[in-house]
Amino acid sequence: MNLLAIYHRATDNFCYCLDEDNIVISIKTGYDINKVTLYYCDPFEKGIMGGNHCIVGTPIEMTEVKKLKNHLHWSVKIKPKYKRLVYYFSFENDTEKYYMYEDRFLTPKEFKNFNQRQQLFTFPFMNPVDIFKTPDWVNDTVWYQIFVDRFCNGNPELNPKDVKPWSSPNEKVASKDFYGGDIPGITSKIEYLKDLGITGLYLTPIFEAASNHKYNTTDYSKIDSCFGTDEDMIALVNKAHKNGIKVMLDGVFNHSGEFFKPWQDVLKNGPSSEYYDWFMINEWPFIERGKNAHSGIYYAFAFFDSMPKLNTNNPKVREYIVNILKSWVGKYDIDGLRMDVAGEISHKLCKEIRSALKELKPDFYILGELWHDSTPWLRGDEYDSVMNYMFSDCLSDFWINDEITSLDFEHKINRCYTMYPLQVNKVLFNLLDSHDTIRLATKLNDMAKFYQQLSVLFTMPGTVCIYYGTEVALEGSYDPDCRRCMPWREIFNGVYNDKISIIKQLITLRKTYQALRSNDYEFNNANTNSRIINYIKKDDNDNKIMVTLNVSDKDFDINSILIESKSITVKDILFSNLYENNILKPNGTLIYTFE
């Protein structure tokens, strides 16, 4: 037995409170183990705490198993009667058995004869105030990300200087172009978005900045005059709420823009400025523009001198940011916050933001822009969730590289959903493209594959976000080309009716079937064709829906799918593309109930 492959810790995603009654415990092992049993009991039961040899405890077999590339991930949910817990494990294969305490492995003989104090894994107490709670409504939400300048020009009087005529969907855009999209324009399209099935809006930054993207803020308290006014924003949120749509704003607090007044004061007064320690400055005076960040004179976003990094270690900066955010919630009644460059600001600020905003609005959603393992930010006192770029990477890898198998895909997806607690998985922000990436339609250049990936997006755990224009398969390469203008003329002339209808189907499916939103999924990859993705989703009542994708160049017979050595029969087709008479054609998609 490979004991080196076994890993557990009594924290984070390996041991946590799911709610006030249940604890989830997980452990990783190698593939050489075929049975894991958890033994648990109260630490004071029969004098265990401080005693010599523990009673056996309550055994429970860990039957929830996910396959990772090099490990098996085992999980179980238990209810400690007295809200506290000590536990240990046993592992078995065909020839061996071991026990695992916190500090050692034991053979059955060693376990039987052990007479010292047991160093057991411990969960001291399930304090309700410490339980990681995420907003329930987020799992049910279908988000729509809007890059404001390119969505809709609702009030031409707000147009910036040198605004360009609204471009066609095939026309590329440049990084410094302005097209006049604004907040009244978004408000005017609420009915369209509601009809599409959207229940959440995520807006890129709306506050004063010199750019079209507004990620270089000049004034965090003033909506950019090109986008509208406070009254416009209040009207948008009110109308969205009346139509069942939540609103999330983008907060850029890792860095400011160069025209932010405190930074301008620093440029003028240097170390004498009262704002000098609002930024992360290492040397004075500054050198030639464009070379300071690269030279380490001061820190910035990436190496852009024009985006100096805010010093979120400074209590005055944290107080300023928290007060700004409280004013956004109070003034506009927004429902969520997406934090830009979320991993670089101080953990101290993250904690203060959560405390302040959850006090104002307990079900407020706080989302961090992180592109990697985000465990340090997802312990219940900072973000609710992160942008799940690892999820989109899983799909990209599989569809781009035809040497990757469905088992590889299963391993990658399982990694995404075993990294964090289940309450985080429910609200993970799943997306396939954004203002920072190449558009999905351009990346795949194949509509059948486009709908395959969207089908995975709409049937996996988490919350779903589509980028504006996805419903019409809007094209666009890397930034800035991924920020093309929304083709309203073509939409209302019916050019995209068929494409919009397909997105509506997928949105309706996700909203109708709780199984498609649930954390409960199971891959079934026992197929001769290694490019068939096949998984089952279950709801709380054990109703099941199958998702089958043929990502190969050969026809696939649905009847060849086996469950417990028995073939299945398609019962009700919920969504299909390139499917007929039990044959799923290359790049085909089928979502269905089965017998």
Query: Is 501:196 a contact under the CB 8 Å cutoff?
Result: no
- What is the phi/psi pair of residue 25, to 5°? -120, 130
Reduce the secondary structure of 522-570 to three states and give it as a string.
EECCCCCCCCEEEEEEECCCCCEEEEEEECCCCCEEHHHCEECCEECCE
**Dihedral sign computed on CA atoms, order 36, 42, 48, 49:** positive
Characterize the bridge pairing of strands 336-339 and 207-209: unpaired
- What is the phi/psi pair of residue 217, to 5°? -60, 135
Query: Is 409:398 a contact under the CB 8 Å cutoff?
Result: yes
- Please report, for residues 19, 135, 217, 354, 357, the alpha-carbon distance to residue 381 in angstroms, rounded to integers and kept in the order given: 15, 14, 27, 7, 12
Spell out the long-range contacts of 302-309 with Cβ–Cβ below 8 A and sequence spacing 24 or more: 305/258, 306/216, 306/257, 306/258, 307/215, 307/216, 307/255, 307/256, 307/257, 307/258, 308/255, 308/256, 308/258, 308/260, 308/263, 308/279, 308/280, 309/254, 309/255, 309/279, 309/280, 309/344
Q: Cβ neighbours of residue 85 under 8 Å, at least 6 residues apart?
A: 23, 40, 41, 42, 43, 78, 122, 123
- Please report, for residues 186, 430, 473, 534, the alpha-carbon distance to residue 77 in angstroms, rounded to integers and kept in the order given: 44, 25, 42, 26
SS3 365: strand
Closest CA relative to residue 320, chosen from 267, 362, 279: 279
Supply 45's token pair.
């039961």
Q: Cβ neighbours of residue 562 under 8 Å, at least 6 residues apart?
A: 526, 568
Cα–Cα dist 8/247, whole Å: 39
- Note if 61 is an active site residue: no
- What is the phi/psi pair of residue 216, to 5°? -125, 70
List 182, 335, 369, 471, catalytic entry: 369
Lookup result for tokens 């006090």: 359
Cα–Cα dist 281/269, whole Å: 13
- 92-123 burial by CB neighbour count: b if 16+ within 10 A, else e? ebeeebbbbbeeeebeeeebeebeeebebbeb
- Note if 344 is an active site residue: no
Q: Cβ neighbours of residue 103 under 8 Å, at least 6 residues apart?
A: 119
End-to-end Cα separation, the chain, in angstroms? 39
List 258, 335, 340, 433, catalytic entry: 340
DSSP for 394-414, please give it.
HHHHHHH-TTS-HHHHHHHHH
- What is the phi/psi pair of residue 52, to 5°? -85, -75
Query: Is 252:204 a contact under the CB 8 Å cutoff?
Result: no
SS3 374: coil
Cα–Cα dist 424/426, whole Å: 5
Q: Which residues are marked as active site?
A: 340, 369
